[in-house]
């Protein structure tokens, strides 16, 4: 269930219930969902595609399943793309031409927001007034388009930050680039304009209130979900290793995600080097897969991680693998002894839940939403800070005790079952209903 953060720390107040379906439904029939900088059709794990892509795809499908049609507007990044693509029954992806197809980084996109907004308005103009009951924007770039669209259409705006500039800048990785002041200003404006803000965790909700002076009554906490049909223990670790060509008796600490300083894959490599220094016999039975592609500031040095592995003398145990589809990613999770997430910042950390759903424990930095995703000492371990020595000490426990993976993995799979997308979609629909109710009340008040 979604929850509203009250003005009193730690107090959570449930929102009004949504009655779906029904003739007098209070929730939306059709929403416009905005994802300017990354398409839900893109492969997660490289470029700007990551957990937010998975979030949008899975949420949209589950909303459609409870009779809320979803049209997702995203920027066209190649010529010849169809204007619209049916992602699933009740879910349409609309490609909007805004700026050059290729060669634009995320940082270049604010200059294209006017063109993107124009494209959204052109698509809307083909329909009757009231075609969209609500706008749901993702990330601050989409929030600015959503703000304008919601005002133009007389519809409520629900926004999900996913990440926040002030939070990221407070925990930058070494050599990473701070988020610009323009983004901070933009996020502040979106917070004020939104009828409701969706946060992944209570901690994120508190950050919205603390850093952006969000109205606590407009902030809802909805945990993201996991596709429990795809991410499950299935036929076990041995079968997954056989499919991936991994040794059956290997110790396999896995990194999966975008390769950039924010995600700190270098911490895993440095920890692995320390493990080998402490126990050279591990070299014959340790494999460190890094599954993902360069992203963000990591694009400036796409070979940086491979060079680091060579400098550390562990190139022989590290396996770099490009991003994979979700079905194969589930196999990588099943095959791993442990997933390692040393991130400097995570609004939630979807891959932590996905890995646990397959029965694999997680070692993660105690940042952002990861303490919610991982139960310390029960489904994995949380590490304070980013010192490779601390990660090496925790990983050494898994290397020394092959049964630790199974013990924590069983608890991890049980824990993950409480994060289904159906529950997340139902909670999000409740937020929509509350936003529409508040919007109607405000409109009535404005007209006396």
Q: Provide mean pLDDT across the span 79-91.
A: 93
43 is in an annotated binding site: yes
Report the C-alpha gap between 76 and 82 in whole angstroms: 9
DSSP 310-341: HHHT-TTTEEEE----HHHHHHHHHH-SEEEE
Task: Quote the pLDDT of residue 19.
Answer: 39
Q: Pick from 341, 367, 365: which is nearest to 354 by CA?
A: 341
CATH architecture of 28-224+419-444: 3-Layer(aba) Sandwich (3.40)
37 is in an annotated binding site: yes
CB atoms within 10 A of CB 14: 11
- What separation, in Å, do the N-terminal and C-terminal C-alpha atoms of the chain show? 34
Q: What is the pLDDT of residues 211-228, one digit of tens each?
A: 999 999 999 999 999 999
Report the C-alpha gap between 293 and 60 in whole angstroms: 25
Task: Quote the pLDDT of residue 34.
Answer: 97
169 is in an annotated binding site: no
163 is in an annotated binding site: yes
166 is in an annotated binding site: no
Q: Which of 35-49, 134-148, 226-240 has the lowest mean pLDDT?
A: 35-49
Please tell me the pTM assigned to this model: 0.85
Q: Provide mean pLDDT across the span 85-100.
A: 93
168 is in an annotated binding site: no
Q: What is the pLDDT of residues 417-445, one digit of tens each?
A: 999 999 999 999 999 999 999 999 888 88
Q: Where are the domains of the chain?
A: 28-224+419-444, 235-415
User: Following CA atoms 426, 2, 231, 256 in sequence, which dihedral angle do they give, to the nearest 10 degrees?
Assistant: 130
360 is in an annotated binding site: yes
Q: Is 158 helix (H, G, I), strand (E, B) or coil?
A: strand
Record: fold of 235-415: Rossmann fold (3.40.50)
Tell me the H-state helices in 84-133.
113-125
User: H/E element holding 167?
Assistant: helix 165-169
139 is in an annotated binding site: yes
pLDDT band at 247 (very low <50, low <70, confident <90, very high): very high
369 is in an annotated binding site: no
333 is in an annotated binding site: yes
105 is in an annotated binding site: no
Q: Is 87 helix (H, G, I), strand (E, B) or coil?
A: strand
Contact 391, 423 (CB under 8 A): no
394 is in an annotated binding site: no
263 is in an annotated binding site: yes
pLDDT band at 342 (very low <50, low <70, confident <90, very high): very high
At CB < 8 A and 24+ separation, what contacts does 25-28 make? 26/433, 26/436, 26/437, 27/68, 27/429, 27/430, 27/432, 27/433, 27/436, 28/68, 28/132, 28/133, 28/134, 28/432, 28/436
Report the C-alpha gap between 437 and 431 in whole angstroms: 10
Q: Pick from 7, 63, 12: which is nearest to 33 by CA?
A: 63
Residue 55 makes CB contacts below 8 A (sequence gap 6+) with 138, 160, 162, 224, 350
Domains 28-224+419-444 and 235-415 share a fold: yes
440 is in an annotated binding site: no
Q: Is 218 helix (H, G, I), strand (E, B) or coil?
A: helix
């Amino acid at each position: 269930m979604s929850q509203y953060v009250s003005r009193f720390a730690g107090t959570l107040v449930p929102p009004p219930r949504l009655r779906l379906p029904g003739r007098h439904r209070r929730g939306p029939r059709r929403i416009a969902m905005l994802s300017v900088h990354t398409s839900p059709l893109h492969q997660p794990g490289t470029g700007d595609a990551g957990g937010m892509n998975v979030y949008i795809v899975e949420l949209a499908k589950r909303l459609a399943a409870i009779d809320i049609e979803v049209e997702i507007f995203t920027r066209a990044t190649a010529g010849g793309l169809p204007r619209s693509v049916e992602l699933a029954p009740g879910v349409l992806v609309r490609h909007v031409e805004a700026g050059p197809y290729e060669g634009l980084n995320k940082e270049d996109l604010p200059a294209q927001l006017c063109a993107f907004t124009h494209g959204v308005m052109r698509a809307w103009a083909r329909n009757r007034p009231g075609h969209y009951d609500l706008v749901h924007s993702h990330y601050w770039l989409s929030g600015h388009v959503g703000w304008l669209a919601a005002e133009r259409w007389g519809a409520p705006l629900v926004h999900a930050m996913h990440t926040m500039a002030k939070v990221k800048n407070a925990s930058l990785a070494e050599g990473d680039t701070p988020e610009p002041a323009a983004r901070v200003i933009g996020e502040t404006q979106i917070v004020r304009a939104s009828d409701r803000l969706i946060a992944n965790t209570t901690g994120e909700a508190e950050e919205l209130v603390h850093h952006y002076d969000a109205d606590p009554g407009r902030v809802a906490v909805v945990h993201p979900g996991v596709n429990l049909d795809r991410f499950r223990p299935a036929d076990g670790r041995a079968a997954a290793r056989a499919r991936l060509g991994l040794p059956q008796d290997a110790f396999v600490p896995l990194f999966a995600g975008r390769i950039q300083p924010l995600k700190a894959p270098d911490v895993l490599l440095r920890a692995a080097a320390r493990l080998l220094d402490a126990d050279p016999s591990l070299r014959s039975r340790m494999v460190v897969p890094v599954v993902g592609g360069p992203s963000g500031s990591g694009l400036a040095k796409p070979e940086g991680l491979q060079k680091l592995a060579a400098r550390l003398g562990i190139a022989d145990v590290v396996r770099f693998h490009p991003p994979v589809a979700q079905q194969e990613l589930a196999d990588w999770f099943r095959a791993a002894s442990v997933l390692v997430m040393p991130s400097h910042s995570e609004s939630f950390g979807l891959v932590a839940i996905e890995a646990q759903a397959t029965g694999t424990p997680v070692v993660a930095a105690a940042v952002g939403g990861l303490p919610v995703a991982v139960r310390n000492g029960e489904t994995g371990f949380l590490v304070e800070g980013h010192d490779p020595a601390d990660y090496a000490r925790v990983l050494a426990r898994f290397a020394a005790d092959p049964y630790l993976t199974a013990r924590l993995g069983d608890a991890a799979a049980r824990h993950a079952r409480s994060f289904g997308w159906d529950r997340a979609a139902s909670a999000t629909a409740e937020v929509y209903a509350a936003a529409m109710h508040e919007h109607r009340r405000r409109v009535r008040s404005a007209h006396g």
